Amino acid sequence: SHPLLRALQSNQGPSYGIWLTLPGVFHARTLAQASSDVGWIVIDCEHGVVPLVPGAAESVAAIKGSRPDGGPSTIVRIPATGASDSTSWQIKYALDAGADGVLIPMVSTAEKAAEVVKDAKFPPKGRRGFGSPFTHGVWGVTPSEYLATANDSTLVIVQIETKEAVNNLESIVQVDGIDALFIGPYDLSISLGFPPPSPNPHPEVEKVIQRVLQVSKQANKKCAIFCASGTQAKGRAKQGFDMINITSDTGSIVEGINRHLKDTQA
């Protein structure tokens, strides 16, 4: 088990997480030393500069080894979007790295959602292959324990961030094995023909966001969203989101420096 899985299963309020965009084991380890109230870290191999191979594996191992309690859950955002055939091997690589879950950008049809579930699960649920010499060690279990528990422990989270996904929402949400629908407000905005959030989304985009939340809840699926600040995240928590990003590594570094400079000059 891991913090994000426990939070999603307990239904007791949202789980807060952070976005890792920079490579390196010491960087990953530093983020993992934030408050234990941080439930998860997305290792962003899509828009971040963490290479999937071997960067995601190094970052996952660094986070998992960072604290006696195993640290926050590790979710790898793979670089390939739902429009690509490369999602299959990338999901395998991310999970073989010992990640607790995968985040797949731009999943816009129920067919693709069902495909990514198959890639993430061992038979009989799916078609994931078994054989990494490292995965079980990252989890601190034996290979057979990993095989027995991975299907129920690893999370498959798809990003709803295209007009096509919104049109197919009712069918995507029904796909068995999808644990959460993750709204990407920036891509969703531009796909719908609106400017990106600054800081809040355009009211028309906000309507769509609320619909995704509602449809997810009705289908008993978790709904997640990216926020760039604690203030935004607090608002999303009140609305009932289950999984909320609060900041990114780069954003927090720059904000922290600027705050200290401001204090110095005050």
Q: Which positions touch ligand 3PY (CB under 6 A)? A: 159, 161, 184-187, 226
CB of 40 or CB of 226, closer to ligand 3PY:
226
**How far apart are alpha carbons 109 and 178 in whole angstroms?**
12
**How far apart are alpha carbons 177 and 145 in whole angstroms?**
21
Helix (H) or strand (E) holding 103: strand 101-104
Task: Report the residue number whose CB is nearest to ligand 3PY.
Answer: 184
- The amino acid present at 73, given as its one-letter code, is S
- Known catalytic membership, residue 47: yes
> Smallest distance, Å, CB 60 to ligand 3PY?
20
Neighbours of 121 (CB within 10 A): 20
| DSSP symbol at 248 | E
Nearest to 39 by CA among 229, 246, 239, 183: 246
CB of 146 or CB of 226, closer to ligand 3PY:
226
> Smallest distance, Å, CB 218 to ligand 3PY?
23
**How far apart are alpha carbons 28 and 14 in whole angstroms?**
23
> Smallest distance, Å, CB 159 to ligand 3PY?
6
- Here the tokens at position 253 are 């570094």
> Smallest distance, Å, CB 57 to ligand 3PY?
22
First to last CA, the chain: 46
| DSSP symbol at 45 | S
Q: Exactly one of 2, 27, 47, 202 is catalytic; which is it?
A: 47
CB of 28 or CB of 225, closer to ligand 3PY:
225
In sequence order, which ranges of 101-162 are alpha helices (DSSP H)?
Answer: 110-120, 135-139, 143-153
CB of 150 or CB of 157, closer to ligand 3PY:
157
- The amino acid present at 38, given as its one-letter code, is V
> Smallest distance, Å, CB 18 to ligand 3PY?
12
CB of 115 or CB of 161, closer to ligand 3PY:
161
DSSP lists the bridge partners of residue 86 as none
Residues carrying an active site annotation: 47
